[in-house]
Structure 1
Amino acid sequence: MAEDSKGGRTAIVIGGGLAGMLAVTALAGHVDAVTVVERDRYPDGQTFRKGVPQARHLHILLSGGQRALEELLPGTVAALCEAGARSLYLPRDLLTRSATGWQRRFDERRHLTLSVTRPVLDTVVRQQVLRAAAASATRVEVLEATEAIGLTGDAGRVTGVRVRSRDGDAGGRSERELPATLVVDASGRGSRTPQWYAALGRTAPREETVDAGLAYATRMYRPKDPATAPDAGVNVPGWPECPRGAAYVPVEDGKWLLTVSGVRGHHPPTDEAEFTAFTATIGDPYVHELLAQAEPLSPVHGFRDTCNRRRHYERPGALPEGFLVLGDAGCTFNPVYGQGMSVAALGALAVRTTLADGGGLRPGTTAEAQRAVARAVEPAWLAAVGSDRPYARPDDAKAGLGERLSTWYIDRLFARAAIDPVVGAAFRDVFCLTAPPARLVAPQIFLRTVFLPRRPGLPSPPAVIERV
């Protein structure tokens, strides 16, 4: 792979959020310099920023994502915990209510999930990345308040990025070209790469969407009496007969985030009184009852861009040389499932592993890395679209026979997992992104799911923790 005009191997990462910072770590040691192009200015301290529209909502880091993050940046999980992230073991510390009843509270100690606000997560990860970069041979520069407005190159190769300063008035914004050996799009849901492809003379990659029409709204609370605060988070996902849901989970500083959700015709309100009333209409009254013991600390914040969207950059011929797509820019999930951050970490790890195994940047490396990213994405994609398919729009990609059978099987497996520690453990392995979907059809799991009778879950939130 050719060097850039300055004589060194350089990379540009579009987007300085979580996926972009992890991309820097994946590239460290394989290029001489990385320039991060970030359209915002980072705030002072751990505060919200405009360029992360989901920032005020619930975020979790699954155990699979934590493992990937630790491999990329050792010590980051401990740093997050020191910053106040809450540790929840599934299913012991997250009470889950499904259509069949409440899940038993198995104490497995296998899948530790971190619950943390997005500003804390972004700040800690960014500090860890820049600290690690300072100790490496790769120089890292972050261009804040700088917007990527296009790619340079042609249909066969990307050679850099056109950028524009966002400082000053509109007439004074300067544009320039930044050359690079490799460009990584980590710009998130709003990625403009499909439009930029046209300017290069390329066709945009095939896009697949499954949209449940879900919207959600979030408010922060603090228990009035910390001594009587719940000892576990609560998750009441919606189901076809009751398409409204809620998750109430602890975060830093003794605070809790409540996110309520609903599909088309059931969108939660952002009016504060109506928001509280909405919690009484989900599939169980438990969350609504808990709110009587808590005081609100914030307004209600809504979010509606929840479509599952996958752009198949990994397909043959879909990627020019010198270009790579990571995170939500390539595959974005309904955020209600809490997979996005973990998948970003797994994707970045896949890139680093590909570069290490293949001897660094060379012709064909980016296509190989993109295929590795796609493999990392696949389990989360299948889980998200399988859950959202019952609510999808008529013009979304149709479910084939295989997906319909999978949906039937997963529905039965999910019901069994609520009461069966063996099936439940397998389900959590896959949901937490530590095992491939094939784990769910292993002989023992298949037989217990298909042939054991379908039984209801518990009638009320479990207080008893069961050791397994």
Structure 2
Amino acid sequence: MAEHVDGGRSAVVIGGGLAGMLAVTALLGHVDAITVVERDRYPAGRTFRKGVPQARHLHILLSGGQRALDTLLPGTVEALTAAGARSLDLPRDLITRTPTGWQRRFDERRHRTLSVTRPVLDAVVRERALRAAAGSATRVEVLEATEAVGLTGDSRQVTGVRVRSRGGSERAERALSAQLVVDASGRGSRVPQWYAALGRGAPHEETVDAGIAYATRMYRPRDPEPEVGVNIPGWPQCPRGAAYVPVEDGKWLLTLSGVRGHHPPTDEAEFTAFSATVGDPYVHELLAHAEPVSSVYGFRDTFNRRRHFERAGALPEGFLVLGDANCTFNPVYGQGMSVAALGALAVRGALDEAGGLRPGATAEAQRAVSRAVDPAWLAAVGADRPYASDGDARAGIGERVSTWYIERLTARAAIDPVVGAAFRDVFCLTAPLSRLVSPRVVLRTVLLPRRPGLAGPPVAGEPARPGTEA
């Protein structure tokens, strides 16, 4: 027998991590009660937990994600900064080695990126989301150590979730009925199996797998700490990369990455040796002035996967999919958290426009989520496609042309303030993809001659002067 979550309009959110808490925030005021189903128990304090296997690696919040987060939960970016998150203005405070040389260090003051460890991010967002809920008319309950095992309803409409406890002796299943179920359970979402149990076919799915793996270690630089973070992404001629950025408490995280055949080791000595084999020795040289303060942690679940729930007929009434359960990116590009915030904000906007949970509102909200995902998805698969396995969907002519154009544009962006500003607007998720094909950007990308970047890491910023030739 189904158990009602609460009287009136109710929702169940599967997953109590970042995407789940943002989903809760998006639904405040649109339902009377929300039950969050979370597999883990939250740790005491801001510490790592088993249910977030990617937590020990780099996490950044792009400027577009910050804007969405502060719109959903005003003051959260300030709270993260107060908790120790480090602010990096792009590209002044994060220098990048491109295939053609080092990017010029334009001092734009337009895109502030936050670098923060995942436990701090999750804890701050969770605290503020639950505080916002307590001050709203929506009642929120979190069921910790509880897992969702299936959906209730039929192929046309989802009516709730079947759950069971993961702790103690009580393992019996029970059903929570709700007008809306949101899957925010992450990369391990079981929606295809749950769809099958309802008699529905799985949604169309795209995957692009570059076979990238990465490994991360935490360091404490000796005084003085580096002035800037460093990013050395891999490229086809040198498929190994590194990123070295500050986090809270004066610590820095070094993530090393590589495609198939070039995976970084987790042995501590071999990890250090690997850092000397990326596209520039600069990061390896910095390690001579830093003390390691953690073990090396590896991660290999980096494929890009998009399930097209936004397509006609792909979503039963009363169901919505957010975050990595909907579209998951290679984490090395640092887009996932920002896209989760943008997706939740899109849901809130769609429900506001629809006037609440009327029939068809969830499908409209899912389409809004898809539009928020598009720029990050195209950027990630464009970067990973050259390394993709034969089993992945092959790029069509349109994607091949766009890949050629993006490769040329990124080379130009390293030296050109106009093209670079457009590239960062889109990469930081503050402008639509059309920004990259504005007449001015296209002409500078296609017609101006290709030139190399700087020969060495830039030691000082330079004023951004849009309109100047480069």
What TM-score comes out, normalization by structure 2 length? 0.97
**Aligned partners of 2:146 and 2:166 also within 8 Å:** yes
% identical aligned pairs: 81
1:394 lines up with 2:390 in the alignment: yes
Match of residue 23 from structure 1: 23
SS of residue matched to 2:215: strand
Give the counterpart of 2:420 among 419, 424, 428. 424
Match of residue 185 from structure 2: 187
Give the counterpart of 1:415 among 400, 411, 420. 411
| Aligned-partner Cα distance in 2 for 1:32–1:97 | 51
1:154 lines up with 2:150 in the alignment: no
Give the counterpart of 1:321 among 317, 323, 330. 317
Query: Where do residues 285-296 of structure 1 align in structure 2 (5 Å cutoff)?
Result: 285-296=281-292
Match of residue 55 from structure 2: 55
State the shift of 1:5 in Å: 8.4
**Aligned partners of 2:10 and 2:33 also within 8 Å:** yes
**Aligned partners of 2:346 and 2:365 also within 8 Å:** yes
Q: Deviations over 1:178-226 (max 9, x none)?
A: 111100000000000111001100000011000000000000000122x
State the shift of 1:168 in Å: 1.7
Match of residue 110 from structure 1: 110
**Aligned partners of 2:5 and 2:34 also within 8 Å:** no
State the shift of 1:336 in Å: 0.2
| Aligned-partner Cα distance in 2 for 1:42–1:5 | 22
Change (3 A) 1:113 1:6: closer
Match of residue 441 from structure 1: 437
Query: Where do residues 31-430 of structure 1 align in structure 2 (5 Å cutoff)?
Result: 31-169=31-169, 172-225=170-223, 228-430=224-426
Which structure 2 residue ranges, 5 or more long, are not aligned?
Answer: 465-470
SS of residue matched to 1:361: coil
Q: Deviations over 1:238-283 (max 9, x none)?
A: 0000000000000000000000000000000000000000000000
Letter in 1 for 2:189: S
Letter in 1 for 2:301: D
| Aligned-partner Cα distance in 2 for 1:144–1:407 | 44
| Aligned-partner Cα distance in 2 for 1:295–1:195 | 46
Change (3 A) 1:242 1:8: same
Which structure 1 residue ranges, 5 or more long, are not aligned?
Answer: none
State the shift of 1:130 in Å: 0.4
Change (3 A) 1:5 1:268: closer
Q: Deviations over 1:152-200 (max 9, x none)?
A: 000011010000101125xx42321111110000000000011100110
Number of positions where the alignment pairs a residue of Structure 1 with one of Structure 2: 462
Change (3 A) 1:58 1:276: same
Q: Deviations over 1:303-358 (max 9, x none)?
A: 00000000000010000000000000010000000000000000000000000111
Match of residue 451 from structure 2: 455
SS of residue matched to 2:45: coil
| Aligned-partner Cα distance in 2 for 1:108–1:211 | 34
Please, what is the CA RMSD of the aligned residues?
A: 1.0
| Aligned-partner Cα distance in 2 for 1:379–1:344 | 13
SS of residue matched to 1:220: strand
| Aligned-partner Cα distance in 2 for 1:232–1:5 | 49
State the shift of 1:7 in Å: 4.1
SS of residue matched to 1:457: coil
SS of residue matched to 2:399: helix
Letter in 1 for 2:423: F
Moved over 3 A (4+): 4-7
Shifted more, 354-363 versus 4-13: the winner is: 4-13
**Aligned partners of 2:101 and 2:454 also within 8 Å:** yes
Letter in 2 for 1:321: E
SS of residue matched to 2:159: strand
Match of residue 468 from structure 2: none
SS of residue matched to 1:189: coil
SS of residue matched to 1:190: coil
Letter in 2 for 1:421: P
What TM-score comes out, normalization by structure 1 length? 0.98
Q: Deviations over 1:355-381 (max 9, x none)?
A: 011100000000000000000000000
| Aligned-partner Cα distance in 1 for 2:455–2:144 | 52
Q: Deviations over 1:14-49 (max 9, x none)?
A: 000000000000000000000000000000000000
SS of residue matched to 1:406: helix
Letter in 1 for 2:414: A
| Aligned-partner Cα distance in 2 for 1:195–1:5 | 24
